[in-house]
Structure 1
Amino acid sequence: MTARWYFDFVSPFSYLHWQKMRPLVDAGRVEAVPIVFGAVLHALGQRGPAEIPKKRGFIYRQALWQAGREGVRLRFPPAHPFNPLPALRLCVAAGATTTAIDAIFDGIWGEGQALDTAESLAGIAASLGIADPAAALADPAVKDRLRAGTDAALAAGVFGVPTLDLDGELLWGNDSHDLMLAALEDPALLREGALAGVDALPVGIERRR
């Protein structure tokens, strides 16, 4: 089974879900793939949750509530949404290892730092063995790898983060983790019985745009 976990550092739910996904990535059962969530939204012609005022307030409260329930420290950065490209590129430059993902997520959502520039990421970069973060973030090869990950997510049909792609079946959200684990243990779960074929349900009415 091919299992890819798509995430963006801009998402507090990606941070919360990472706490559960890290052991699966460490064990080699899942590949963690950083992507640009904003590019996904643009391709789909959608606004992000934090771009809808009332939804923005709700998701922030929901993230804090989930963090408290799960015993995870969550501190919002100084502003949100923020530009996640520098953090994403640093992650890619460092090989998207669990150590790199941990360090960046912890800095943004564990400590509430604004890690949106090469300068602000310098300390984490040094800890990851990257002496010149500005050069790493500007490296065309790094940009291409991040773009390739995002393109792969779009090709798979990803519409939000975090998303686990199990051989083409998409499972979205921190609160879907139990279903993800069940599907990882039993791949037939999504292809047989009550969960099979629901995506083929006919559309009864379409909203006019």
Structure 2
Amino acid sequence: MTTGLDTTQPVWFYDFLSPFSYLLLEQHDKWPDVPFKPVPVSLPDLYRHWGHRSGADVPSKRIFTYRHALFRAEQLGIPFKMPPVHPFDSNSALRLAIALRADISAVRDIFRFIWRDGRDPSTPDGFAKLCERVGVGHGEALIEFEETVAQLRRNTDDAIALGVFGVPTFWMNKQLFWGEDALPMVLYCARTPNWLESREVKRISTLPRGDV
């Protein structure tokens, strides 16, 4: 049986496919003092739902994204090494996190295996090494349980129902905050939640859409 999200509680949505999710988690000590629940979702499924094209499909965007991730890592002083291929299939790693009921610390270990050590978790050898890293035997069997597969689908569907369109995304005070660079906004809104109720924020949040 799958478990739905408690949308009254703060959530952090991530996919191991995202270098910016890794970079944001490495700044966990700067996050608001709120018990965010880490929830793995499928970024490709989010894109498919919203009709977004993956940045990897646009050569110039793909190159810029990797350069930007490296730049941010160097700027923040965070160790960073791209895996040997990208994008890779992150489903095995996501299901492993679900099977382990991974907390922030365990999720960080998986991210570091991929984005600090530069490993591909989608290959048989890479996944086996990842399981060793997190101290799990028979990980390949764990991720095939129907309940585990279904939970990933449920997580992604629940995220879509909230309007989540990418990762990393915070859900806090029933509002979405997307992107590694949104952390200052998250911190500000944690301290000053009534900002989102200000006249100008309300005005721009309901702007009519023009024809393009």
Q: Which residue of structure 1 lines up, in the alignment, with residue 186 of structure 2?
A: 180
Query: Which amino acid letter does the alignment assign opposite residue 181 of structure 1?
Result: L
Q: Does 1:7 align with 2:14?
A: yes
The superposition leaves residues 144-202 of structure 1 with CA deviations (integer Å, 9 ceiling, x where unpaired) of 11111111110011111111122432111101110011112222221224323412011
Q: Which residue of structure 2 lines up, in the alignment, with residue 63 of structure 1?
A: 69
Q: 1:122 deviation in Å? A: 2.5
Map 1:1-209 → 2, pairs under 5 A: 2-21=9-28, 24=31, 29-205=35-211, 207=212
Please list every run of 5 or more consecutive structure 2 residues that lacks an aligned counterpart in the other structure: 1-7
Q: 1:38 deviation in Å? A: 0.4
Give the conservation status (yes or no) of the 8 Å contact 1:103–1:124: no
Please list every run of 5 or more consecutive structure 1 residues that lacks an aligned counterpart in the other structure: none
Q: 1:3 deviation in Å? A: 1.6
Query: Which amino acid letter does the alignment assign opposite residue 43 of structure 2?
Result: F
Query: Which amino acid letter does the alignment assign opposite residue 16 of structure 2?
Result: F
Query: Which amino acid letter does the alignment assign opposite residue 120 of structure 1?
Result: G
Query: Which amino acid letter does the alignment assign opposite residue 116 of structure 2?
Result: G
Distance 1:118 1:66 in 2: 30
Distance 1:15 1:197 in 2: 33
Number of equivalenced pairs: 205
Secondary structure of the equivalent of 2:165? coil
Identity of matched residues, %: 33
